[in-house]
């Protein structure tokens, strides 16, 4: 039986030691941690609904055109699409394309020739994150054709980390259900995070490439939706919501 290398064991510990909190930046933080620790530089983090459909992707270095095309119709031919992988994920948490089809079948598929080739992608590995028998989300990591394929050590690391992320993702989904928080737009959630960190209006404007007047308008909306009178109260509320 192949053992996990010392280097990869230490990478897993490093990944788990990073403070990835179940707030609105959770999935983005997870993808960046994978990139920093394991070098997985192309990735998606999807949620999965009750009918095993992918939804609400967060991406890292994936072509926006590729994502738009995939969401509109390419998902139907995706070999690692959740509805196809569901039986396999009952026994394991990590799958590669060649776990389902041969290399020849993959290279002759519509998914490869009409989609992956167009954007230069070739290797893909999918990770199921679930609680009990319920699929909560899915991670997908890709590599270009001229890069090394994923190997057994990658799979072993991802199997372990999937179990670690299960509890984190469950908490994140509960966090997203907080009534007050769900009233906020994506932009308002970003501002709330910056307010929590003590950023000024000018700093927020520069980070989001918007005007300070727009920041003020978003803040007024936050005051109203979260029922607070001023920035101090908003900061306190942010700490409660984003803890």
**Bridge pairing between strands 121-131 and 134-144:** antiparallel
Q: Whole-angstrom Cα distance, residue 228 to residue 170?
A: 29
User: Which residue matches tokens 């699409």?
Assistant: 81
Predicted structure pTM score: 0.74
C-alpha closest to that of 158 among 97, 98, 95:
95
pLDDT at res. 201? 95
C-alpha closest to that of 232 among 242, 243, 221, 219:
219
pLDDT digits (tens, 9 = 90+) for 136-191: 999 999 999 999 999 999 999 999 999 999 999 988 888 777 777 777 888 898 89
pLDDT at res. 100? 93
pLDDT digits (tens, 9 = 90+) for 70-113: 998 898 999 998 888 888 888 899 999 999 999 999 999 999 99
Percentage of residues in the chain having pLDDT higher than 70: 98
pLDDT at res. 161? 96
pLDDT at res. 240? 73
pLDDT surpassing 80 at residue 241: no
pLDDT at res. 171? 85
Q: Whole-angstrom Cα distance, residue 70 to residue 243?
A: 34
Q: Whole-angstrom Cα distance, residue 80 to residue 11?
A: 26
Average pLDDT of the chain to the nearest whole number: 90
Q: Whole-angstrom Cα distance, residue 63 to residue 44?
A: 11
């Amino acid at each position: 039986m192949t053992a996990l290398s010392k280097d990869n064991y230490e990478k897993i510990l490093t990944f788990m030691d990073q403070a990835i909190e179940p707030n609105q930046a959770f999935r983005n933080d997870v993808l960046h941690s994978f990139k920093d620790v394991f070098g997985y530089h192309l990735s998606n983090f999807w949620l999965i609904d009750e009918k095993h459909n992918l939804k609400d992707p967060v991406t890292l270095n994936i072509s926006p055109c590729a994502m738009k095309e995939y969401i509109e119709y390419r998902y139907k031919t995706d070999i690692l699409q959740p509805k196809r992988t569901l039986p396999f994920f009952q026994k394991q948490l990590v799958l590669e394309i060649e776990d389902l089809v041969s290399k020849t079948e993959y290279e002759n598929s519509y998914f490869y020739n009409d989609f992956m080739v167009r954007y230069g992608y070739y290797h893909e590995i999918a990770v199921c994150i679930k609680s009990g028998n319920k699929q909560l989300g899915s991670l997908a990591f890709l590599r270009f054709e001229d890069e090394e394929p994923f190997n057994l050590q990658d799979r072993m690391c991802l199997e372990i980390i999937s179990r670690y992320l299960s509890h984190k993702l469950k908490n994140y989904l509960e966090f997203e259900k907080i009534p007050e928080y769900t009233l906020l737009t994506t932009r308002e959630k970003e501002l709330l995070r910056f307010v929590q960190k003590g950023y000024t209006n000018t700093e927020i404007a520069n980070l989001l490439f918007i005007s300070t007047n727009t920041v003020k308008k978003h803040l007024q909306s936050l005051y109203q939706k979260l029922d607070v009178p001023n920035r101090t109260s908003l900061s306190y509320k942010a700490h409660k919501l984003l803890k």
